[in-house]
Chain A
């Protein structure tokens, strides 16, 4: 490969995760693992109706039940309009939510919360609450919501803090458009045009640990919230905002958390727990059940994506016209940004001079969508990669060759970067590390792409057809000129360091990756670093775990931090050794003279600096604003077997080839990639919400919402294709999200390759596949 790559002493090595052994030993590290005396338990009453006005709530019977400590409804709870989206301030999400709304807008909307001595008492109390509803007609089809006579947010108060289009009268949550080049000319120049519409479906993140917060007051009467959150600093801000208390009176602690994937970027349990804690002055725990995760946490935004594209016989893409209708459900959290990301995280992938994007987000009376790994990129990839395949087939070019010819290359830019950002205009950038050609080539070789026709013939039977699919993807690393991350470190007597990070390790391994970067700069071992992350009282700010930003952006902050400390160490050593700094170099936990054998160890520096000589705290803080969002790239290849009698699609092999820049920790890269992939395969094949006529989720359990288990796995191989991202820490990019977006298009392409039937509405369950086959015939 022509690109430079980096392998360091610790960066590039699969060191063990800093928390792995403690987790394997089952130590009490999660939110609910620390006992609190006198804990109050909370249970929530949810709307059974998809759309209704609450005429009256009578909680008197519930309040009389022995053991009930309090009941909150729209009548007595805070009425501050806000968004539950844990984003930077001012949020690009509409303020359309109250803790409890007078009008309920989906089955699962909050009606009342009970605090009681036990969970059982709280549950019994829920049954005693009498609610009178005036039921309204709901709207479920997002393609019919815009401008419908049924108006979901008709209270007329919702608003954005930022100047963007919003029209609740039309159920219209957000609009974005962008156009570059000349669309008419583009389509005129085309020899062929493909116009395809795809629709993705509702799905849940399913972190193994449900949402949970425990709120209590400390000895200084400050509110402390232990929360399973991806965004402790946003949680602190929003709790203070909604409850009308000073931010300085709130502390949010994120312990280890059992996965997030976006759903814990939402402030769902914190405020309720805090509100009761303020009232009762006791520790209050609000913990979701698995069922509540499905009916009242957050979901992926279902979208309809229409993509029309033109191609010349020589394989030049002449125009791409993408139209997106995104369903944000009953509330608009992440409604604008997920929709705009559908354009910005997909359209720059291929060369094209004439591109148009129009996106609209609408309300429906269905569960609330939010951030979900992939964040619009997943939805758009389904459309883009199906259409790219069809363009290739139309001109008789191999889909891999077609992608090799057209994908964006190192040093190039796309007009879309500037035209379309996250919720507004974007920022011009070149992409300076693109390993996608290598990804495609290595992946193709690994799966046997070039000899597939012969292989398929050999292995297919009359009713069991083999097929091969391919999809390419890009994402980003952080949100440019919005995201900020910071890190702080100090040196101890023995030469060890405390590394304090605002960044939120939600299982991704970011504590480890960031410590590796710190260790690399300073010549440390991992055991010399004590990592503490995500405590709003102790650690510096970080926007949180989202937008594939931590490795890249917090990584840069940590690298700068370590460089600052290195400079301090050199200065200190130069004084102690009485030689100019320029004569010194870094050794293994020591500063050495470059020619003599004079040296001073870190432990010496640590002790002397604190107690005896030239006394000072060696330490620093550093922060970094994102100025770029370098995309990671990957190629996905799958082999499937489609049973034409039953419609069953079996994924036999799956290859990921991923360009993550420098893999700071290759095993963690593989873990992040395959975890996302397996979630993506589940989403493509089996995961879905089943609704009844009234908008109620009928399958809110793992028994009926099928996520992949060990026995469902295909043979998976992950190929890391290292490149070097010049703007990243040691050349790294972030890859937490990208791989979830491949399976939907890749498997659709593989199914088409096997049986010549195009399926555009996942999940590819046997009944849907059979229906598609029958329709085709």
Chain B
């Protein structure tokens, strides 16, 4: 049995034929959104985070069917080489990227926060990133980078 789902991914309308038991991560990766990473498959690492209707969700514990008619953002849809998002720039500048495997998920969790507020406290940043594991960096640079991006987006910092 298959079914059809409609999604808006990175501002493009898409229709996919899926198996109702397929997970969102599998459909997204199959369709070429390979920035969505698989680190655990059980909702505990955050590497597969995407924005679904503006909220950071773990795509490995969500059926693709549950996203039907939804709006999805993956990191492929955020920033370009010529015009990176302030978060992407801040992560690069702060040395907050080592292996980079956790980065798409972390950037999207951070984006979900900054989409709500541009004046987060350090504590709020920590809480927003709490579901995203990073084994390489020790997180401090990433927390700094989110605060810096927020400042840039507020216009406090260039």
Residues of A432-469 at the interface with B, using a CB-CB cut-off of 8 Å, are none
Q: Are B135 and A259 in contact (CB under 8 A)?
A: yes
The residue of chain A having its C-beta at the shortest distance from the C-beta of B74 within the complex is A26
> Given B44, B91, B93, B132, which contacts A703 in the complex, CB threshold below 8 Å?
B44
> Given A29, A671, A708, A709, which contacts B98 in the complex, CB threshold below 8 Å?
A671
State whether the Cβ of B2 lies closer than 8 Å to any Cβ in chain A.
no
Q: Which residues of A contact B88 (CB under 8 A)?
A: 21, 24-25
Q: With A671-B95, A678-B139, A713-B126 as given contacts, are A26 and B101 in contact (CB-CB < 8 Å)?
A: no
Question: Cα distance A206–B38 when bound, in Å?
Answer: 13
State whether the Cβ of B76 lies closer than 8 Å to any Cβ in chain A.
yes
Q: Which residues of B contact A24 (CB under 8 A)?
A: 75, 79, 84, 88, 91-92, 97, 100, 103, 107
State whether the Cβ of B150 lies closer than 8 Å to any Cβ in chain A.
no
Q: Are A25 and B76 in contact (CB under 8 A)?
A: yes
User: Chain A residues in contact with chain B, CB under 8 A?
Assistant: 14, 16-17, 19-30, 32-33, 35, 205-210, 256-259, 261, 289-290, 506-509, 665, 667-668, 670-671, 673-679, 701-703, 707-711, 713, 716
Q: Are A208 and B47 in contact (CB under 8 A)?
A: yes
Residues of B59-98 at the interface with A, using a CB-CB cut-off of 8 Å, are 74-76, 79-81, 84, 88, 91-98
A selection of 24 A-B contacts at a CB cut-off of 8 Å is A17-B97, A20-B92, A24-B84, A24-B91, A24-B97, A24-B100, A25-B81, A28-B34, A30-B37, A206-B133, A208-B45, A208-B101, A209-B99, A256-B99, A258-B100, A258-B102, A289-B41, A290-B44, A507-B100, A674-B137, A675-B136, A677-B138, A707-B135, A710-B139
Chain B nearest CB from A563 CB (Å) reads: 28
Q: Which residues of B contact A671 (CB under 8 A)?
A: 95-96, 98, 136-138, 141
The residue of chain B having its C-beta at the shortest distance from the C-beta of A739 within the complex is B138
Residues of B20-64 at the interface with A, using a CB-CB cut-off of 8 Å, are 32, 34-35, 37-42, 44-45, 47
Q: Which residues of A contact B32 (CB under 8 A)?
A: 35
Question: Cα distance A665–B95 when bound, in Å?
Answer: 10
State whether the Cβ of B147 lies closer than 8 Å to any Cβ in chain A.
no
Chain B nearest CB from A81 CB (Å) reads: 33
Q: Which residues of A contact B134 (CB under 8 A)?
A: 208
Question: Cα distance A389–B139 when bound, in Å?
Answer: 30
How many residues on B have C-beta within 8 angstroms of the other chain's C-beta atoms? Answer: 53
Q: Are B135 and A21 in contact (CB under 8 A)?
A: no
Q: Which residues of A contact B7 (CB under 8 A)?
A: none
Q: Are B137 and A675 in contact (CB under 8 A)?
A: yes
The residue of chain A having its C-beta at the shortest distance from the C-beta of B104 within the complex is A26
Question: Cα distance A206–B133 when bound, in Å?
Answer: 10
Q: Are B100 and A14 in contact (CB under 8 A)?
A: no
Chain B nearest CB from A119 CB (Å) reads: 10
The residue of chain B having its C-beta at the shortest distance from the C-beta of A703 within the complex is B44
Question: Cα distance A459–B92 when bound, in Å?
Answer: 39
Q: Are A667 and B103 in contact (CB under 8 A)?
A: no
Question: Cα distance A137–B104 when bound, in Å?
Answer: 47
State whether the Cβ of B130 lies closer than 8 Å to any Cβ in chain A.
yes
State whether the Cβ of B129 lies closer than 8 Å to any Cβ in chain A.
yes
Q: With A25-B76, A208-B47 as given contacts, are A508 and B98 in contact (CB-CB < 8 Å)?
A: yes
Question: Cα distance A708–B99 when bound, in Å?
Answer: 17
Question: Cα distance A675–B140 when bound, in Å?
Answer: 9
**Given pairs A290-B40, A701-B44, 19 additional interface contacts (CB within 8 A):** A16-B93, A17-B97, A20-B95, A20-B100, A24-B84, A24-B107, A26-B35, A208-B37, A208-B102, A208-B135, A209-B101, A258-B101, A259-B99, A261-B135, A507-B100, A508-B98, A509-B98, A668-B95, A702-B40
Chain A nearest CB from B52 CB (Å) reads: 17
> Given B44, B127, B133, B141, which contacts A667 in the complex, CB threshold below 8 Å?
B141
The residue of chain A having its C-beta at the shortest distance from the C-beta of B94 within the complex is A667
Residues of B102-158 at the interface with A, using a CB-CB cut-off of 8 Å, are 102-104, 107, 125-127, 129-143
Q: Which residues of B contact A711 (CB under 8 A)?
A: 126-127, 130
Chain A nearest CB from B83 CB (Å) reads: 11
Q: Are B97 and A208 in contact (CB under 8 A)?
A: no
Q: Are A716 and B138 in contact (CB under 8 A)?
A: yes
The residue of chain B having its C-beta at the shortest distance from the C-beta of A704 within the complex is B44
> Given B41, B98, B129, which contacts A675 in the complex, CB threshold below 8 Å?
B98
Q: With A208-B47, A208-B133, A710-B129 as given contacts, are A26 and B92 in contact (CB-CB < 8 Å)?
A: no
Q: Are A259 and B136 in contact (CB under 8 A)?
A: yes
Q: Which residues of B contact A207 (CB under 8 A)?
A: 99, 101, 135
- The SS class assigned to the B binding surface is loop
Q: Are A290 and B41 in contact (CB under 8 A)?
A: yes
Q: Are A667 and B101 in contact (CB under 8 A)?
A: no
Q: With A256-B100, A259-B99, A289-B41 as given contacts, are A679 and B140 in contact (CB-CB < 8 Å)?
A: no
Give the 4 A-B residue pairs with the shortest CB-CB distance, closest first. Answer: A507-B99, A26-B35, A258-B101, A23-B100
Q: Which residues of A contact B138 (CB under 8 A)?
A: 671, 673-679, 713, 716
Most buried by B among A23, A27, A670, A673: A23
Q: Are A702 and B141 in contact (CB under 8 A)?
A: no
Q: Are A290 and B42 in contact (CB under 8 A)?
A: yes
Chain B nearest CB from A256 CB (Å) reads: 6
Q: Are B95 and A23 in contact (CB under 8 A)?
A: no
Q: Which residues of B contact A708 (CB under 8 A)?
A: 139
Most buried by A among B88, B127, B131, B142: B88
Q: Which residues of A contact B139 (CB under 8 A)?
A: 674, 678, 708-710, 713
Most buried by A among B35, B125, B126: B35
Q: Which residues of B contact A205 (CB under 8 A)?
A: 135
Q: Are A29 and B100 in contact (CB under 8 A)?
A: yes
Q: Which residues of B contact A209 (CB under 8 A)?
A: 37, 39, 99, 101
Q: Are A670 and B95 in contact (CB under 8 A)?
A: yes
> Given B45, B79, B97, which contacts A23 in the complex, CB threshold below 8 Å?
B97
Question: Cα distance A701–B75 when bound, in Å?
Answer: 26
Question: Cα distance A702–B43 when bound, in Å?
Answer: 9
Q: Which residues of A contact B96 (CB under 8 A)?
A: 671
The residue of chain B having its C-beta at the shortest distance from the C-beta of A718 within the complex is B140
Q: Are A703 and B42 in contact (CB under 8 A)?
A: yes
Q: Which residues of A contact B93 (CB under 8 A)?
A: 16
Chain A nearest CB from B144 CB (Å) reads: 10
Most buried by A among B103, B134, B135: B135
Q: Are A702 and B126 in contact (CB under 8 A)?
A: no
The residue of chain A having its C-beta at the shortest distance from the C-beta of B32 within the complex is A35
Chain B nearest CB from A314 CB (Å) reads: 39
Q: With A25-B76, A671-B141 as given contacts, are A679 and B101 in contact (CB-CB < 8 Å)?
A: no
Chain B nearest CB from A26 CB (Å) reads: 3
Chain A nearest CB from B45 CB (Å) reads: 6
Question: Cα distance A703–B131 when bound, in Å?
Answer: 11
Q: Are B42 and A25 in contact (CB under 8 A)?
A: no
Q: Which residues of A contact B75 (CB under 8 A)?
A: 24-26
The residue of chain B having its C-beta at the shortest distance from the C-beta of A667 within the complex is B95
The residue of chain A having its C-beta at the shortest distance from the C-beta of B44 within the complex is A702
Q: Are A16 and B42 in contact (CB under 8 A)?
A: no
Chain A nearest CB from B37 CB (Å) reads: 7
Question: Cα distance A416–B74 when bound, in Å?
Answer: 54
Q: Are B92 and A707 in contact (CB under 8 A)?
A: no
Q: Are B97 and A679 in contact (CB under 8 A)?
A: no
Most buried by B among A29, A33, A209: A209
Q: With A28-B34, A675-B98 as given contacts, are A206 and B141 in contact (CB-CB < 8 Å)?
A: no
Q: Which residues of B contact A702 (CB under 8 A)?
A: 40, 42, 44-45, 133
> Given A14, A35, A257, which contacts B99 in the complex, CB threshold below 8 Å?
A257
Question: Cα distance A676–B139 when bound, in Å?
Answer: 11
Most buried by A among B32, B37, B80, B101: B101
